[in-house]
A and B are shown apart, each in its own frame.
Chain A
Amino acid sequence: MLLVFYLPVLYTFYLSFTEYNGLGTPEFVGVDNFAAMFGDSAFLGAVRNTMIWVVGTLVLPVGLGLLVAVLAYGFRGSGWLRLPFLVPYALSGVAVGVIWSFMLGSGGALTQALQFLNLPGTELRWLQDSPLNTVVMVIAAAWQGVGVNALLFTVGLQSIPKEPLEAARIDGATGWRLFSTITWPLLRPSTTVVVGLSIVNGLKTFDVVQAMTQGGPARSSETLALTMYRDTFVNSDYGLGSAVAIFLSVVTVGASIIYLRRQLSLSSASLGGGK
């Protein structure tokens, strides 16, 4: 644990205060890397794109995952309904990126299909214009992520005790009312996990973007993880790359702590209210 986690983290923290090209000895430069990072408009663009990813990852894969789980739950053969959503999860992010690049690239499958069907949208440059490129990549990632979220929500649905549901039905609650007043609150443990994972996954988005646009054109679709990669491995500016890594880690850990604390306090409150 010390060797593979704490030491690299501490070393990255140390490097973020140095100028270092991967050779020789790192030179201490104070907070220069952080000043350069915050002064770079491309970094701020990466922050914006990362936020789009976080929101998009929450709305699409989580929302659709919940919808699939709820709609399929209780049906005979519901596993077969969920299966098509689960298959993409078996693919790597890079494979997803390659597949969607083929569809969304210049003159790609989607544009050809729209042309063939004489539908509008053929003029759209899916991967070349910002923020459209980030939005369509979020959709690509959602295509992959819906299945696993649906699975997690299904497990949550299966763990809900039948008694309160039966009682609510006897009282006449059905449909949306049953879901919003009984099912949804009882799903909180699963929702906490799924949403927490989605926030973290959204913040550290890398593989799909790297495979589809490499953050371009002109860094317009770059996320923080790609900024870190670009600075470190393309420009060999390990100090700046480490500063981005530290920033991203602080944001990720901070967001996770705030979210989990809020969820735990809500759970405590609801438990207290039930007493």
Chain B
Amino acid sequence: MKTLKLPAGLATVVVTALLATACGGEANDAGATTGELAFAHNKPWDFDAFSKVSKQDIDISLKSTQYSGDPYRAFIRQSFRTKESPGLFTWEVSTALDELAEQGVIAETTDLWTEAVEKGYVSDAVRQLYTVDGKQYCTPISVDNWVMFYNKAIFTKYGLSVPTTWDELMQVAATLKQRGVTPFWNQTKNFSFVWFQTLLAGTDLRLYNDLSTGKAKYTDPRVVAVMNNWLELQKKGYFNDPGQTDFARDLMREGKIAMAPEGTWFTADAALAGMTMGKDVDMFVIPAVTPGAATPIAIETAPVCVGESSKQKSLGLKFSQWWMSPQGQQPWVKQQGNLPFNSDAEAPTPQMKALKSKLAAGKYEYYNRYFEATPVPIRTVALEQFSAFLTNRGDPMPYLTAIQAAADEYWAGR
């Protein structure tokens, strides 16, 4: 009977944890806009340090509680069934956001977005990611661009230049391979999508977007061709063993890989591994596989949301508004060493300044990262199948067929 008790036990733990930590003991602030804000999150970032800044600036401190893994989503969902939904919590801009918005359990933020976009704090492209049925929900705490990070010492050692075209990138990879260095990082499980995203969007961004919205099929010959391209790179030995569970930052520091496609949040990761941006590691925009009018760049945005029925709704919304503003973004990106999405906020490092200038001057087309762009039930299967494809190199069709079966089921129910 223990098995049957598991869901019950989890549900009990979820509700108890909710009451005890994220929202427990909070008095109904009834519109208060200063005080202590309960903040549930699933990020490894130092929100306690950031809380000191917000406390000083807007007299709101964060009482952070970190959760990890998939149960976090269940925890948040279950909290809406109680009278204690969180004042502020992290989420994802996928169909998981649509579900919360459609159920009316999260506070609308359209007014905050209208003001922020009018003032130029956030681009309209990012606003679209937070839009459900014409209204906005949640606000961003970061908008990361996916670029290629590289080990500078390895590039210097072999006299390699930063590639600006796909052919040049492949030439760099071939040289590295010849010299016994694994060119690229890849990994199964949650990161198994990275090279599918890079190759597909870099080859045909419209096809990538059509796939995300169910207008194209995974078994489309063009998708199969991209998978075969991926397979070709694998066979050339351009990737580390995908089963390795080591962090990319550690493999890069040890010189076991030369390059890793990551979000700009990787700067914080690199620092954790003891690498210094500009000295040990740097980054470049990933060139398109098929050059077009604009180079596609994946963006990954981390939202914070406010529970509609939360007793701390006003407090949460005020904090969200501040975090989007230059006053909130500036100290946040300084702490994280990251690229600010707010154009009025200054990039914290010379490398981020250079990237910001490059992105402002060039022609780039931004797209939502595969993890968020793909409906969750399809994503779950896709990550499993991409992992299997990486583990058992061969004909991509069985893997794509399995993903398409999940996609057919999902889109049929919409």
Task: Bin the interface of chain A by size.
Answer: 35 or more
Q: Are B384 and A234 in contact (CB under 8 A)?
A: no
B 54-72 contacts with A by CB, 8 A: 70-71
B6 touches A225 (CB 8 A): yes
Task: Please indicate the chain A residues that have their CB under 8 angstroms from the CB of B70 in the complex.
Answer: 229, 233-234
A138 to chain B, nearest CB (A): 18
Tell me the A152-193 residues at the B interface (CB within 8 Å): none
Query: Shortest beta-carbon distance, A29 to chain B, in Å?
Result: 12
Cβ–Cβ contact B7 & A245, under 8 A? yes
A9 at the interface (CB under 8 A from B): yes
A247–B9 alpha-carbon span in the complex (Å): 18
**B353 → A minimal CB distance (Å):** 39
Q: Given the complex, which residues of A lie within 8 Å of B380, measured CB to CB?
A: 230, 234-235
Contact with A along B361-390 (1 / 0, CB 8 A): 000000000000000110010001101101
Chain A: CB-nearest residue to B8 = A8
Is A122 an interface position by the 8 A CB rule? no
Q: Contact at A235–B243, with CB atoms within 8 Å?
A: no
What chain B residues lie within 8 Å of A225 (beta carbons)? 3, 6
Contacts A248-B3, A249-B1, A253-B1 given; indicate if A107 touches B244 (C-beta within 8 A): yes
- For window 178-217 of A, CB contacts with B under 8 Å fall at 200, 203-204, 214, 216-217
Q: Is the CB of A235 within 8 A of B189?
A: no
Determine whether A57 belongs to the interface, using a CB cutoff of 8 Å to chain B: no
- A12:B8 contact, CB within 8 angstroms: yes
Contact with A along B179-203 (1 / 0, CB 8 A): 0000000001100000000000000
The residues of B that contact A119 with a CB separation of less than 8 Å are: none
Chain A residues 220-249 with CB under 8 Å of chain B are 220, 225, 228-230, 232-237, 241-242, 245-246, 248-249
Residues of B in contact (CB 8 Å), total: 42
The answer to whether B3 touches A233, judged by C-beta atoms less than 8 angstroms apart, is no
C-alpha spacing A275/B102, complex, angstroms:
72
A21 closest partner in B (C-beta): B99
| Interface mask (B298-342 → A, CB under 8 Å = 1, otherwise 0) | 000000000000000000000000000000000000000000000
- Asked whether any CB of chain A lies closer than 8 Å to the CB of B105, the reply is yes
A263 at the interface (CB under 8 A from B): no
Q: Who on chain A is nearest to B78 by CB?
A: A22
CB <8 Å contact, B377 and A235: yes
Measured CB to CB, the closest approach of chain A to B111, in angstroms, equals 24
A63 adjacent to chain B (CB < 8 Å): no
CA distance A245 to B6 in the complex (A): 9
The reply to whether B3 and A106 form a contact with Cβ atoms under 8 Å apart is no
Residues of B within 8 A of A233 (CB): 70-71, 73-74
Q: Which residues does chain B contribute within 8 Å of A242, judged by CB atoms? A: 7
Q: How many angstroms from the CA of A246 to the CA of B7 in the assembled complex?
A: 10
What's the dominant secondary structure at chain A's contact region?
Answer: helix
With A and B bound together, what is the CA distance between A99 and B388 in angstroms? 23
- Please report the number of residue pairs spanning A and B whose Cβ atoms sit closer than 8 angstroms: 115
A residues 74-111 in Cβ contact with B at 8 Å: 101, 105-107
- Contact A218/B387 with A22-B77, A23-B105, A253-B1 known, Cβ cut-off 8 Å: yes
In chain B between 90 and 109, which residues have their CB closer than 8 angstroms to a CB of chain A? 96, 99-100, 103, 105
Residue numbers of B with Cβ under 8 A of A are 1-9, 11-12, 70-71, 73-74, 77-78, 80, 96, 99-100, 103, 105, 188-189, 241-245, 376-377, 380, 384-385, 387-388, 390-392, 399, 402
* Sample (29) of A-B pairs whose CB atoms are under 8 Å apart: A8-B7, A11-B8, A21-B99, A22-B77, A23-B99, A106-B241, A106-B243, A127-B243, A128-B243, A203-B3, A204-B3, A216-B189, A218-B384, A218-B385, A218-B391, A218-B399, A225-B6, A228-B6, A229-B70, A234-B380, A236-B74, A236-B96, A241-B7, A245-B6, A245-B7, A248-B4, A249-B1, A252-B3, A253-B1
Known: A106-B244, A232-B74. 11 other contacts (CB 8 A): A8-B11, A106-B241, A127-B243, A128-B392, A214-B189, A218-B387, A218-B388, A218-B399, A235-B376, A237-B377, A245-B6
A interface residues, Cβ below 8 angstroms from B: 4-5, 7-9, 11-12, 21-24, 101, 105-107, 125, 127-128, 200, 203-204, 214, 216-220, 225, 228-230, 232-237, 241-242, 245-246, 248-249, 252-253
Q: Which 9 A-B pairs have the closest CB atoms?
A: A8-B8, A106-B243, A218-B388, A249-B4, A22-B77, A23-B103, A233-B70, A106-B241, A217-B388
